[in-house]
Amino acid sequence: MMALSQMSREQLEQEKAQLEKRYHAFQSRGLKLDMSRGKPGNDQLDLSNGMLEVLTADDYKAENGLDCRNYGNSDGLPEMRKIFADLLEIDPDEVIVGGNSSLTMMFDNIASNMTHGVRDGKPWGRQGEVKFLCPVPGYDRHFAICEYFHIKMINVPLHSDGPDMDMVERLVSSDPLIKGIWCVPKYSNPDGVVYSDETVRRFAHLKPAADDFRIYWDNAYMIHHLGEEPAKILNLLTECEKAGNPNMPLIFTSFSKVSFSGAAVAAMAASKSNIDYIKKRLTVQAIGPDKLNQLRHVRFFKDANGVRAHMKKHAAILRPKFAAVLDKLDEELTPYSVATWEKPTGGYFVSVNVAEGTAKRVVQLCKEAGVVLTGAGATYPYGKDPLDRNIRLAPTYPPLEEVKEAIELFCICTKLAAVEKMLES
Amino acid sequence: MMALSQMSREQLEQEKAQLEKRYHAFQSRGLKLDMSRGKPGNDQLDLSNGMLEVLTADDYKAENGLDCRNYGNSDGLPEMRKIFADLLEIDPDEVIVGGNSSLTMMFDNIASNMTHGVRDGKPWGRQGEVKFLCPVPGYDRHFAICEYFHIKMINVPLHSDGPDMDMVERLVSSDPLIKGIWCVPKYSNPDGVVYSDETVRRFAHLKPAADDFRIYWDNAYMIHHLGEEPAKILNLLTECEKAGNPNMPLIFTSFSKVSFSGAAVAAMAASKSNIDYIKKRLTVQAIGPDKLNQLRHVRFFKDANGVRAHMKKHAAILRPKFAAVLDKLDEELTPYSVATWEKPTGGYFVSVNVAEGTAKRVVQLCKEAGVVLTGAGATYPYGKDPLDRNIRLAPTYPPLEEVKEAIELFCICTKLAAVEKMLES
């Protein structure tokens, strides 16, 4: 097999015919597969089934005697805060444990800044068109929050060691309407990229033109390693303190892909002073989070090491799925030279850049053969991938056999769309 | 014993000396009681302990086969929606089941209107000083939300059949900056008042000057009867539909005082068209509520009748506490003619109007003898009771014996403060 670019028109026509044959064979099988969302598989959820019965009718008190059934404790159970603090390597006083969704905590923080400003500064909603930097490709739900609040999004390329920091520094220091940046610093969604120490340090040393600039550090995959050797990132909170920017970072994480996606606990971390400010809103907003569910997590995991041990079981389930995807991509696409991708060592996705101008076509072809992928463009603000080439693959939810079928189809469609495109030109 | 107003100065002095003796006797006992918040007692929480173990490691699916452990269903489990719909006597399509707090749902609705307007109308935050009507006495946490969003609050007297509707109609129809009104229509917080059918119909027929006016109908105590004969209120949603105002009401309720205060489920209800609008925000805000906790509630209560049966057990625990309060008030305060109060047949509070200008003093006296009450003024916007006379008693949390002690002390302090006041003048 040779690179597409070196094929003659005749060779391309032949190749197309063969690919179409394979494609139609797939189509005739009436598949109905979904590789679109980063959901844990049923076997992963089973790992936590013990949590469904870990509490008993006489076990509802926290270490300090607090009755978790009743109202109170707007920042969460102390022992749950400690588990998050240990995992994030920070102080429990710098953590708020919330409900079941870190996305809700991010949304709410931005909603708060729109109406009340950052720490009672001028509300973002009254400063004209505020903007966020969005490393791309990125997480569609981050972008949806910005779009909802009419926050203008500016694309910043994501490299294999993090966002283009030259560009980030230049923009952040020159435009006071740039108020935030979305980061998934470890096993980024979708590329699986891990931010280098230098990247983290450059973040900590930013000199924003806006004094109400914030780094939204969504550490969603902090412990979601696939391999034996977990990737390490520097602690942004500590680095920001050292750099004299203690209040700049807001860190988010959750157990949505640790215990139960719909019924886990989420947390945010920030400087003590930021936390105190945020708690003031919390006390108006709610009388307290679901402490029984936090207690369930405490009983089930016991401590941070319990969580880490649990994550190894997730990794054992996910490794073969990621291997199936990466091996097939390598086998089918490398010789063709039509696509590039990172090889993630953690997280929930494989992100593939197919031939320019063909991502939409690939997703459509897959769909017409029964495999739903994340929509092309979803990994870019406003759903607009300027080169129409990035596709996010989410191999975690379907069983391994289905992943194998889906990725084979994806490879066929990727090649077919590329061949079609070359024949057009 | 005679009415205070008929006592001579000498009689007042004698009375004062006797009251001080009783007061000091209390003080020397070093009590540490809390009647400040509407929290269920431990025995009430015990009623739901079965819910802690109602799910098992292989019971996590909804009726429709949905795996409640995973992401999804932003508006809640269908069977949980049905239970709320049956209790509210509306259609399940008109219900969203959320997390553990109806307060959070109210807060969020107002936050949404501030930045995005009501159904994409002009944002409240850009209309100048928007206002809410606040029937008084009322719920401090409602007022805190308004204060947080800088919404000006206007007091409206609450009568024994609901708010002063002449005043409500006049204000709402004349001022386009009046955007909402807080109502607790059944067993109101704190008076325990039940809105009459006429009041509900007049609400439904309001002709607001603002087309983005909303009724915040916090039906927190919809099934929280104390007696055998539950109070009935008309269905606001139906009445508003009939009156051609289908989108005016937003109804909130929760199981916070049905199952576990900190770990229950909350719901909101509105026209289908309002619900569809609200869901759009919800899908940006979260990937879904905690469906396992909703399933726990479904398994435990089974249906609306199961909930109603459960509420009878709550009533049996609460009746003696309310009786102790009301009997003592009657015994100690009626002869004196220094205070008035409603006799609630449901809800969580007894609200007492003590002698004008003495509420703060009564609360202080109680505190100095070891009984914490809700702060004087808390039942009014901005914490300002213009007559300094309303005090909210919350007899549900302490055990019956403590309620008896606390209410006796309260009566002594109420009389003592009144006598002091008369002697001053």
Tokens read off for A391 = 């596709």
pLDDT in tens, B147-165: 999 999 999 999 999 999 9
Of the candidates B49, B50, B287, which has its C-beta nearest A103's C-beta?
B287
Say whether B289 and A262 touch across the interface (CB within 8 A). yes
A228 has pLDDT over 90 = no
Question: How far apart (Å, rounded) are the C-alpha atoms in residues B120 and B319?
Answer: 46
Q: A118: which residues sit within 8 A by CB, 6+ positions away?
A: A124, A179, A212, A214
Say whether A293 and B290 touch across the interface (CB within 8 A). yes
What's the pLDDT score for residue A1?
66
Hey, how many other C-beta atoms are within 10 angstroms of the C-beta on A205?
A: 15
Question: How far apart (Å, rounded) are the C-alpha atoms in residues A395 and A215?
Answer: 29
Over residues A312-325, mean pLDDT: 98
What's the pLDDT score for residue A86?
98
Domain B63-302: assigned CATH number: 3.40.640.10
Sequence letter at residue A393: L
What's the pLDDT score for residue B74?
81
Domain A62-301: assigned CATH number: 3.40.640.10
Question: How far apart (Å, rounded) are the C-alpha atoms in residues B387 and A402?
Answer: 71
Sequence letter at residue B350: V
Say whether B115 and A103 touch across the interface (CB within 8 A). no
Among A36-45, A66-75, A332-341, B103-112, which stretch is predicted with the lowest mean pLDDT? A66-75
Residues of A with CB below 8 A from B107's CB?
A: 284-286
Residues of A with CB below 8 A from B42's CB?
A: 67
- Top pLDDT among B228 and B274 is at B274
Nearest Cα of chain A lies from the Cα of B61 at a distance, in angstroms, of: 12
Of the candidates B40, B111, B291, which has its C-beta nearest A115's C-beta?
B111
A14 has pLDDT over 90 = yes
Q: Report the residue of chain B nearest A263, measured CA to CA.
A: B290
A400 has pLDDT over 80 = yes
Residues of A with CB below 8 A from B286's CB?
A: 100-101, 103-104, 107
Average pLDDT score, chain A = 96
Rounded to whole angstroms, the maximal C-alpha distance in chain B is 78
Over residues B136-141, mean pLDDT: 97
Question: How far apart (Å, rounded) are the C-alpha atoms in residues A27 and A363?
Answer: 14
Q: A35: which residues sit within 8 A by CB, 6+ positions away?
A: A371, A372, A373, A374, A393, A394, A395, A397, A398, A403, A406, A410
- Is B198 in contact with B164 (CB distance < 8 Å)? no
pLDDT band of residue B301 (cuts 50, 70, 90) is: very high
DSSP B49-86: GGGGGSS-TT--B-TT--BTTSS--TT--HHHHHHHHH
Please tell me the total number of residues recorded for chain A in this structure. Answer: 425
Over residues B137-144, mean pLDDT: 98
Sort strands A350-353 and A390-393 into parallel, antiparallel or unpaired: antiparallel
Tokens read off for B311 = 């509420």
Q: Is B348 helix (H, G, I), strand (E, B) or coil?
A: coil
Give the angle B272-B276-B277 at the CA atoms, nearest 5°.
Answer: 120
Q: How deeply is B34 buried, as exposed, middle or buried, from its count of CB atoms within 10 A (0-12, 13-18, 19+)?
A: middle
Tokens read off for A251 = 């860190």
What's the pLDDT score for residue B64?
93
pLDDT in tens, A55-107: 999 999 999 999 999 998 888 899 999 999 999 999 999 999 999 999 999 99
A389 has pLDDT over 90 = yes
What's the pLDDT score for residue B331?
97
Residues of B with CB below 8 A from A48's CB?
A: 69
Average pLDDT score, chain B = 96
Nearest Cα of chain B lies from the Cα of A266 at a distance, in angstroms, of: 12
Give the angle B407-B231-B239 at the CA atoms, nearest 5°.
Answer: 130
B228 has pLDDT over 90 = no
- Cα-Cα-Cα-Cα dihedral of B242, B243, B248, B251, to 10°? -50
Say whether B56 and A57 touch across the interface (CB within 8 A). no
Question: How far apart (Å, rounded) are the C-alpha atoms in residues B133 and B154?
Answer: 5
Q: Which of A220, A279, A214 is nearest to A252 (CA)?
A: A220
Helix residue ranges, H only, A215-303: 236-242, 272-285, 291-301
- Cα-Cα-Cα-Cα dihedral of A72, A78, A84, A88, to 10°? 120
Nearest Cα of chain A lies from the Cα of B24 at a distance, in angstroms, of: 32
Q: Is A72 helix (H, G, I), strand (E, B) or coil?
A: coil
Say whether B145 and A284 touch across the interface (CB within 8 A). yes
Residues of B with CB below 8 A from A260's CB?
A: 69-70, 292
Q: Is B237 helix (H, G, I), strand (E, B) or coil?
A: helix
Of the candidates A58, A144, A291, which has its C-beta nearest B284's C-beta?
A144
A314 has pLDDT over 90 = yes
Residues of B with CB below 8 A from A73's CB?
A: 262
Say whether A284 and B45 touch across the interface (CB within 8 A). no
- Is B38 in contact with B393 (CB distance < 8 Å)? no
Over residues A138-160, mean pLDDT: 98
Instruction: Give the containing element (helix H, strand E) for B266.
Output: strand B266-269
DSSP label at residue A355: S
pLDDT in tens, A200-215: 999 999 999 999 999 9
Nearest Cα of chain B lies from the Cα of A59 at a distance, in angstroms, of: 9
Question: How far apart (Å, rounded) are the C-alpha atoms in residues A347 and A267?
Answer: 18
Over residues B76-96, mean pLDDT: 96
Enumerate residues 295 to 354 of chain A having a beta carbon within 8 A of any beta carbon in chain B.
none
A·B CB contacts under 8 A? 163
pLDDT in tens, B112-122: 999 999 998 99
Say whether B70 and A261 touch across the interface (CB within 8 A). yes
Over residues A129-134, mean pLDDT: 98
Enumerate residues 228 to 287 of chain B having a beta carbon within 8 A of any beta carbon in chain A.
256, 260-263, 281, 284-287
Sequence letter at residue B162: G
Q: Whose structure tokens read 């509210």?
A: B88
Of the candidates A49, A55, A67, which has its C-beta nearest B57's C-beta?
A49
Nearest Cα of chain A lies from the Cα of B214 at a distance, in angstroms, of: 19
Residue spans in chain A of domains classed CATH 3.40.640.10: 62-301
B1 has pLDDT over 80 = no
DSSP label at residue A119: G
Q: A202: which residues sit within 8 A by CB, 6+ positions away?
A: A165, A168, A169
Establish how many alpha carbons lie within 13 A of residue A234's alpha carbon, considering only the half-sphere containing its beta carbon: 19
Over residues A349-358, mean pLDDT: 98
Question: How far apart (Å, rounded) are the C-alpha atoms in residues B130 and B361?
Answer: 34
Question: What share of chain B has pLDDT > 90, as a percent?
Answer: 96
Question: How far apart (Å, rounded) are the C-alpha atoms in residues B85 and A305?
Answer: 44
Residues of B with CB below 8 A from A53's CB?
A: 53, 55-57
Q: How deeply is B308 buried, as exposed, middle or buried, from its count of CB atoms within 10 A (0-12, 13-18, 19+)?
A: middle
DSSP label at residue A225: B
What's the pLDDT score for residue A72?
83
What's the pLDDT score for residue A157?
98
Question: How far apart (Å, rounded) are the C-alpha atoms in residues B207 and B245?
Answer: 9
- Is A260 in contact with B70 (CB distance < 8 Å)? yes
ipTM for the predicted complex: 0.96
Query: SS3 helix, strand, coil % of chain B, rounded to 5?
Result: 45, 15, 40
Q: Is B320 helix (H, G, I), strand (E, B) or coil?
A: helix
Tokens read off for A107 = 């949304």
Of the candidates A48, A145, A291, which has its C-beta nearest B263's C-beta?
A291
CATH 3.90.1150.10 fits B4-44+308-424, yes or no: yes
Residue spans in chain B of domains classed CATH 3.90.1150.10: 4-44+308-424
Strand partners, A250: A216
Say whether A292 and B52 touch across the interface (CB within 8 A). yes
Question: What share of chain A has pLDDT > 70, as a percent?
Answer: 100
Give the angle A151-A156-A157 at the CA atoms, nearest 5°.
Answer: 150
Q: How far is CA A307 from CA A81, A90, A187, B329, in A?
A: 13, 16, 18, 55
Tokens read off for A273 = 């002073």
Enumerate residues 156 to 185 of chain B having a beta carbon within 8 A of any beta carbon in chain A.
none
Residue spans in chain B of domains classed CATH 3.40.640.10: 63-302
**Is any Cβ of chain B less than 8 angstroms from the Cβ of A103?**
yes
Strand partners, A157: A136
Q: Whose structure tokens read 């094929």?
A: A7
CB burial of B143-152 (b: ≥16 within 10 Å; e: otherwise) equals bbbbbbbebe
Q: Which of A52, A96, A5, A35 is nearest to B57 (CA)?
A: A52
Question: How far apart (Å, rounded) are the C-alpha atoms in residues B78 and B95?
Answer: 10
Q: How far is CA B208 from CA A5, A66, B113, B150, B168, in A?
A: 68, 46, 17, 21, 10
Question: How far apart (Å, rounded) are the C-alpha atoms in residues B68 and B73?
Answer: 9
Enumerate residues 19 to 78 of chain A having a beta carbon within 8 A of any beta carbon in chain B.
37, 39-40, 42, 45, 48-50, 52-53, 55-60, 67-73
Hey, how many other C-beta atoms are within 10 angstroms of the C-beta on A197?
A: 13
Say whether B290 and A99 touch across the interface (CB within 8 A). yes
Sort strands B152-159 and B162-163 into parallel, antiparallel or unpaired: antiparallel
